[in-house]
Structure 1
Amino acid sequence: MQKTYHSSCHCGAVTFEADIDLTQGTGRCNCSICSKARQWGVIVKPDAFRLIHGASELSDYQFGSHSMHHLFCRHCGIRPFGKGSLDVLGGEFYFVNVFCLDDVEPAELIEAPLHFSDGRNNNWQNTLAETRHL
């Protein structure tokens, strides 16, 4: 069921809301940045994402193909969301860090399906045989 979640970085300089259906699944990836940041997220379309405050407080990090903007608060360093455009994901998207959802219930995250992607090998649509380390 789709629900509007409110979200923020740790210091509150960046706030946003997003319409998310956690029952449709969340994701983790083994690429270099997701592994190091322990990222757990959900993809939303641009019309389901609303930045409330803090656009000027975000710093952007890109690497590799530069198809993803890894955004983080320049004050507290938290990565509440990122954005990008990939054909395999239907074009423009936001990647919301579920750990930054302020009003999510633990049971919602426990029950949300979790998909693991092999980003390390640019094999995004295939899952991994071993995921315990992610």
Structure 2
Amino acid sequence: MIQPRSGSCHCGRIRFRCEVDLAPAGARSPQLRPGPWYASTLRCNCSYCRKTRIWKAHVPAEAFTVLAGEDALGRYRFGECSIEHCFCPDCGVNTFSRAAFDAMGGSFACINVACLDDAAPEELAAAPVRYEDGAHGDWHSAPPIVSYL
């Protein structure tokens, strides 16, 4: 079910709040927006996600707030520069990304699930994971090998 959650980087300089659903299929709330991006957590094999090992969950922009550290955020863009990848310049943790795509209902944040401070290990273990083959631009299919993600 959708719940308010708090997240932070390792040193605590960057802190955020979001509303996200970590529940397994069958126990999830109605999605805030349509589309597969909001129906699960995701692991991707694109060059960025693979190298940072990010575990992401999309939340609409209106369900995401930076509580501390906005002015200190490290920001990284690559390729088409349409996604702002944000990280803490002190501890280096990738906390979230931000973008706006019409296909995804407009502006959203993509939080790093591993940065959620108030998610119990049992919740994380039960959270559904969808895989994306970003290395080949196929965001709707899992890559042939997912065990390393």
Same-fold call, TM > 0.5?
A: yes
8 Å contact kept, 1:17–1:52: yes
- CA drift at 1:46: 0.5
Runs (5+) with no aligned partner, structure 1: none
Count of residues in correspondence between the two structures:
134
1: CA distance between counterparts of 2:132 and 2:148? 13
Q: CA RMSD in A?
A: 1.1
What residue number does 2:31 align with?
none
What residue number does 2:19 align with?
19
1: CA distance between counterparts of 2:116 and 2:128? 17
Runs of 4+ residues over 6 Å off in structure 1: none
- CA drift at 1:34: 0.4
- CA drift at 1:122: 1.1
Normalising by structure 1, we get a TM-score of: 0.95
What residue number does 1:5 align with?
5
Equivalent of 2:49, from 34, 53, 70? 34
Runs (5+) with no aligned partner, structure 2: 24-38
- After superposition, the C-alpha distances for 1:48-82 in whole angstroms (9 at most, x for unaligned) are 00111110110110000111111111111111111
* Matched AA of 2:116: L
Equivalent of 2:122, from 96, 101, 107? 107
* Matched AA of 1:111: A
1: CA distance between counterparts of 2:106 and 2:63? 14
Aligned-pair identity (%)? 40
Normalising by structure 2, we get a TM-score of: 0.86
Stretch deviating more after TM superposition (122-131 or 62-71): 122-131
